[in-house]
Chains A and B, each alone.
Chain A
Amino acid sequence: MKIGYKIQDKFDFGIFLPLILLMIIGLLVIYSATVNHPTASGNFNKQLVSAVISIVAFLVIYSIPEKTFRISAFPAYLISLLLLIVVLVVGKTVYGAKSWLSLGPLGLQPSEFAKIGLILFLAHWVSRDDRDINNIKDIGVALMIGFLPILLILLEPDLGTAIVFAAITLTMIFWGGINLFSLFIVLSPGIVTFASLFGLPVLIIALVGILVILMFFKRNLFTSATVFVVNIASVFFFDYGVKLLQPHQQKRIEAFLNPLADPLGSGYNALQAKVAIGSGGLFGKGFLSGNQTQLRFIPEQWTDFIYCVIGEEFGFFGSVITLSLFLIIFIRLLNLSTITKDKFSSLIIIGILTLLFTHFAINIGMNVGITPVIGLPLPFLSYGGSSLMVNTILLGITMNIYKHRKLHT
């Protein structure tokens, strides 16, 4: 009997349509933010070309044999590390970070392409049958796989991308089946350090919380004490690390904690972004009519602050529609992750989901003023060819997995 395939069975429009819509919205707002700009007015055309190339890349990735991903996992990871080292040596410095490789007329960000390498290889490693993700050695190796690129990226230094890599690593380990106590060990230092940002009282509350949870787990005293000490050490280590950060990044962390302290300094962008979004109202000021955008109150708005163009010119209505398109993709990815053929594919999808979601959360969070200003582009919308291409390729991988999800095919 012939099975009556519908195209949806092989090609998921639940992901593809929101992707296309987001790319269109992105092009529109990039146009608005750069039209008649003295230096950036060519960006719309460049992004249009990138978008077309990305769609082609998406379809190519969608069509290749699925075993390609498993075969290429390790080489992709190795090449990623190699490129990240190369960029530290011969890279071009953009906005204080040595993150660009110039290839003739083209520019390339190795950290963007390293995302593919990390996700594929970590998925490959964690999904192997002889791994036990709750074995301290295997956790260690898994963390190391994530830590190597993170270290190289921190050296650029690019804090935002390093955070994304950390989130991908942790979430994939989590999805790999780590138990709650192991997860707690991995996560608690991060939670405590984050709390330390808000001053001593908050830090003490967090440490007390750690103690309570340790008691709840009822492990032996030695283990519990070690975890607690590691937590305290991480706070000092972080404090030391902050001093190693670039001055502009330190300022951004300060500015996040108190944006009004220095309205014309590093908090300026955050404040103007909020003003742009807030003044948009229900339906916005109209395409090409946002005064914050058109009078160029927000520098380089077409990159990290592209979302506030939507907020200003299309209002609450447009902002929520954009959020919803992302939500559809995220929920769709989450659902796909449980109907894949194998654990490898499932882990890949979760890695991709984490990557997109982290970018989304940090970028929109900083646009609406609930996360610090950390330079991360908004997937599919921000100007930038490397980022757009990698993100669409990742969705292409997802779609490929979806096509081959059934064991019998």
Chain B
Amino acid sequence: MFFDTDLRKKILFFIIIGFFFVLVFQLYQMQILENISYSEKSSENSVKEYLINAPRGTIFDRNFNVLVSNKPIYTVELIPANYSKENNPKIEKIFNLEDGYINELLEKYRSYSSYLPRRIKRNIEFQSLVWLEENSEKLNGLEYIVDLQRDYPYGIMGSHIFGYLREISADKLRNYSEEYQMGDLIGSQGIEKTYEDILRGEKGVQYYLVDSQQKKIGKYLNGAKDIPTTKGNDLVLSIDGPTQKKAEELFENKRGALVAIQPATGEIIAFVSSPQFDLNKLSSVTSRDEWAKLQTDTTKPLFNRATMSIYSPGSTIKPLEALIALENGVVDENFTVNCQGGYQYGNRFFKCTHVHGKTDLIKSIEKSCNTYYYQLFLKIGFENWSNFMQRFGFGHLTGVDIGDETSGILPTVEYYNRRLGKGKWHEGMLISLGIGQGEFATTPIQLAQYTALIANNGITKTPHFVKGYIRNDDNAFVPLEYSDLKVDVSKKTFDIVKEGMYKVVHGAGTAQHIKIPGIEIAGKTGTAENPHGEDHALFIAFAPFENPEIAVAVMVENVGYGGTHAAPIVKEIIKSFLMPNEQKNMTIISAGIKGE
């Protein structure tokens, strides 16, 4: 060695070893000899923070009727650190939980502090609460809290509009650990999902003195350090409560969908997908029974038919066909076809519903003459046809603010080239597209959007449910912006097509029976062919004819003709929205009669 280090090394060695043993001795003294006294100190009175869930924002309709609010419920929580698993069977029985549910829950959140409460059941019944209170001495680690649950006081279901809340998934929880705690509810469908951040609010904190069993024994400093919750912002929907209610009534025991839009703004006035499901049940029950039931139901109530189901638009597409032909100058309004009950193309005969005789463009819409449109389709040309369809929103998503949506099928040249091969198909094979059959498939909301475009001469906005929100800080209304949808077509063309649609109701057309005194309606019936059973009834309409305020599309599954089954529904919806007072008067009159 290059210098004498022996002694110095020894000195350092003894300092290190010496200190090591001092520490070990001190630990031995504290953790072994004085452990009992320290343990007592540790479990003495201490302060514990309780996070208080913020009330979610209220959801209003366009006239500030409360559609969705909150109601207080009792929720049972379990704190694993103080809980004994021997109680599992008893508790599972009392609270109506499946066997093994508690173990499963504990396992799921194994990696979280055992002092954080796990919510085991929401909205417990009063008897269960009494039982819990009476047996609290024996049930360490079980507590109940007053929590909030969604309430639907207006009496509409709106299951596909509002959507439901579910417990936050473990994955999401990891990514949003600042905003959410385990067991928190988070919007997982519909408006509750899309506007989660606006509706959520901020949690509050309350401090309690707790004993070693973590039972509350009083408020800490009389609540001086508590942080109040901040309620979520209130949403204002464009839904019209009474009209929505009417629409839901009209769809009772029917399967189908309805979308009503204000043409100029894109605001959705009413929106139904039937059958619906009960949001009340979903928001209170943790059990998977209700889920299993909904998921296996053959009528598919969870499926949003208004945005997800696709059907041939049938004859409801004819006004648009006429529009395309006129706008392209292929024909003018005087183009006439002599309908002899069908159209011969090559060796195939395409049928019409009736023998319409001499038919011009207006009459073709009014009477829904197929013969006319087989020929019109060939004149327009397939490529031109699909380009125009696309501009009216078909084949892509409308972008409505409730998530789940499908774009339908709009056949294009590329589509057939890919499917059948280039040169292996010709337009003659596609003639039935001209009457809205064949491989053309649309969603009800696309039909409503298209109707709105016709009604408002080619200008509307992305269909949406939410007009804006009321900011919690200052009660200011914050409107939300939506993008424009414009189709450049001459007003003259629109006027001709609209005249045809007007005659469907007010002329000798296919929906004469839905006239409402005082309101001029323009519409078009349709029937989507269904190879598996009864046809689906379709109807689109807008009103009032001069300054349209509402555009509606209705689809009713497996009932037959659109004029017979879908049009009357549209009539009631238009009446409800445009003549709200008359409805009220009727109720007053009938109430009066009952009174006598």
Checking B4, B32, B37, B41 against A282 with a beta-carbon cut-off of 8 angstroms, the contacting residue is: B32
Bound CA–CA A315/B30 (angstroms): 10
Checking B23, B32, B43, B114 against A365 with a beta-carbon cut-off of 8 angstroms, the contacting residue is: B23
B9 pairs with A368, CB closer than 8 A = no
Bound CA–CA A175/B15 (angstroms): 14
- Is A160 engaged at the interface, CB distance under 8 Å to the other chain? no
Chain B's closest residue to A326 (CB) is B20
B9 pairs with A281, CB closer than 8 A = no
Q: Please, what's the 1-or-0 string for B392-411, where 1 marks a CB less than 8 Å from any CB in chain A?
A: 00000000000000000000
Checking A288, A338, A342, A343 against B114 with a beta-carbon cut-off of 8 angstroms, the contacting residue is: A288
Bound CA–CA A361/B112 (angstroms): 32
B177 pairs with A342, CB closer than 8 A = no
Chain A's closest residue to B19 (CB) is A361
Given contacts A291-B81, A353-B12, contact A319 B31 (CB under 8 A): yes
B31 pairs with A282, CB closer than 8 A = yes
Q: Which residues of A contact B2 (CB under 8 A)?
A: 342-343, 346
Checking A177, A294, A369 against B113 with a beta-carbon cut-off of 8 angstroms, the contacting residue is: A294
Checking A32, A316, A334, A361 against B27 with a beta-carbon cut-off of 8 angstroms, the contacting residue is: A316
Min CB distance, B179 to chain A, in Å?
Answer: 11
Min CB distance, A114 to chain B, in Å?
Answer: 23
Given contacts A276-B42, A291-B42, A319-B27, contact A357 B178 (CB under 8 A): no
Q: Which residues of B contact A36 (CB under 8 A)?
A: 112-113, 116, 177, 181
Given contacts A275-B38, A334-B9, A343-B2, contact A295 B27 (CB under 8 A): no
A297 pairs with B16, CB closer than 8 A = no
Min CB distance, A272 to chain B, in Å?
Answer: 9
- Is A280 engaged at the interface, CB distance under 8 Å to the other chain? yes
Given contacts A334-B9, A357-B16, contact A279 B42 (CB under 8 A): yes
Within 8 A of A (CB), among B1-38: 1-5, 8-9, 12-13, 16-17, 19-20, 22-24, 26-28, 30-32, 34-35, 37-38
Chain A's closest residue to B20 (CB) is A327
Q: Which residues of A contact B13 (CB under 8 A)?
A: 331, 334
Checking A41, A323, A346 against B24 with a beta-carbon cut-off of 8 angstroms, the contacting residue is: A323
Q: Which residues of B contact A277 (CB under 8 A)?
A: 27, 30-31, 38
Q: Which residues of B contact A331 (CB under 8 A)?
A: 13, 16
Given contacts A41-B178, A319-B27, contact A275 B12 (CB under 8 A): no
Bound CA–CA A351/B16 (angstroms): 14
B31 pairs with A35, CB closer than 8 A = no
Chain A's closest residue to B210 (CB) is A295
B38 pairs with A368, CB closer than 8 A = no
Q: Please, what's the 1-or-0 string for A12-56, where 1 marks a CB less than 8 Å from any CB in chain B?
A: 000000000000000000001001101001100000000000000
Min CB distance, A262 to chain B, in Å?
Answer: 17
B4 pairs with A177, CB closer than 8 A = yes
- Is B115 engaged at the interface, CB distance under 8 Å to the other chain? yes
Chain B's closest residue to A41 (CB) is B177
Chain B's closest residue to A276 (CB) is B42
Q: Which residues of B contact A357 (CB under 8 A)?
A: 16, 19
- Is A258 engaged at the interface, CB distance under 8 Å to the other chain? no
- Is A394 engaged at the interface, CB distance under 8 Å to the other chain? no
B43 pairs with A274, CB closer than 8 A = no
- Is A311 engaged at the interface, CB distance under 8 Å to the other chain? yes
B3 pairs with A280, CB closer than 8 A = no
Bound CA–CA A200/B26 (angstroms): 27
Q: Please, what's the 1-or-0 string for A319-352, where 1 marks a CB less than 8 Å from any CB in chain B?
A: 1100100010011001001100011001000100
Within 8 A of B (CB), among A148-185: 171, 174-175, 177
A295 pairs with B115, CB closer than 8 A = yes
A368 pairs with B177, CB closer than 8 A = no
Q: Which residues of B contact A364 (CB under 8 A)?
A: 23
Bound CA–CA A21/B588 (angstroms): 80
Tell me the interface secondary structure of chain A in the complex. Answer: helix
A288 pairs with B30, CB closer than 8 A = no
- Is B391 engaged at the interface, CB distance under 8 Å to the other chain? no
B16 pairs with A327, CB closer than 8 A = yes
Checking A171, A177, A278 against B38 with a beta-carbon cut-off of 8 angstroms, the contacting residue is: A278
Min CB distance, A278 to chain B, in Å?
Answer: 3
Q: Which residues of A contact B19 (CB under 8 A)?
A: 357, 361
Bound CA–CA A175/B38 (angstroms): 42
Min CB distance, B152 to chain A, in Å?
Answer: 33
Bound CA–CA A282/B27 (angstroms): 10
Min CB distance, A246 to chain B, in Å?
Answer: 26
Min CB distance, A299 to chain B, in Å?
Answer: 13
- Is A292 engaged at the interface, CB distance under 8 Å to the other chain? yes
Q: Which residues of B contact A93 (CB under 8 A)?
A: none
Q: Which residues of A contact B20 (CB under 8 A)?
A: 323, 327
- Is B347 engaged at the interface, CB distance under 8 Å to the other chain? no
Min CB distance, A331 to chain B, in Å?
Answer: 7
- Is A289 engaged at the interface, CB distance under 8 Å to the other chain? yes
Q: Please, what's the 1-or-0 string for B113-138, where 1 marks a CB less than 8 Å from any CB in chain A?
A: 11110000000000000000000000
Bound CA–CA A311/B1 (angstroms): 41
Bound CA–CA A361/B114 (angstroms): 32
B177 pairs with A275, CB closer than 8 A = no
- Is A89 engaged at the interface, CB distance under 8 Å to the other chain? no
- Is A233 engaged at the interface, CB distance under 8 Å to the other chain? no
Q: Which residues of A contact B30 (CB under 8 A)?
A: 274, 277-278, 311, 368
- Is A370 engaged at the interface, CB distance under 8 Å to the other chain? yes
B35 pairs with A281, CB closer than 8 A = yes
- Is B230 engaged at the interface, CB distance under 8 Å to the other chain? no
Chain A's closest residue to B16 (CB) is A330
Q: Which residues of B contact A319 (CB under 8 A)?
A: 27, 31
Min CB distance, B148 to chain A, in Å?
Answer: 21
Q: Which residues of B contact A41 (CB under 8 A)?
A: 177-178
- Is B253 engaged at the interface, CB distance under 8 Å to the other chain? no
Min CB distance, A66 to chain B, in Å?
Answer: 17
Q: Which residues of A contact B41 (CB under 8 A)?
A: 275, 278-279
Q: Which residues of A contact B43 (CB under 8 A)?
A: 279, 291
Chain A's closest residue to B12 (CB) is A334
Chain B's closest residue to A177 (CB) is B3
A368 pairs with B37, CB closer than 8 A = no
Q: Which residues of B contact A174 (CB under 8 A)?
A: 8
A294 pairs with B31, CB closer than 8 A = no
Within 8 A of A (CB), among B74-120: 81, 111-116
17 pairs of residues in contact across A and B, judged by CB atoms under 8 Å: A32-B113, A35-B112, A36-B112, A41-B178, A174-B8, A278-B41, A279-B42, A282-B31, A282-B35, A315-B31, A316-B28, A320-B24, A334-B16, A338-B1, A343-B2, A370-B23, A370-B26
Residues of A participating in the B interface, judged by any CB pair closer than 8 Å: 32, 35-36, 38, 41-42, 171, 174-175, 177, 274-282, 288-289, 291-292, 294-295, 297, 311, 315-316, 319-320, 323, 327, 330-331, 334, 337-338, 342-343, 346, 350, 353, 357, 361, 364-365, 368-370
What 7 pairs between A and B have smallest CB-CB spacing? A278-B38, A279-B42, A278-B30, A316-B31, A279-B39, A294-B113, A279-B38
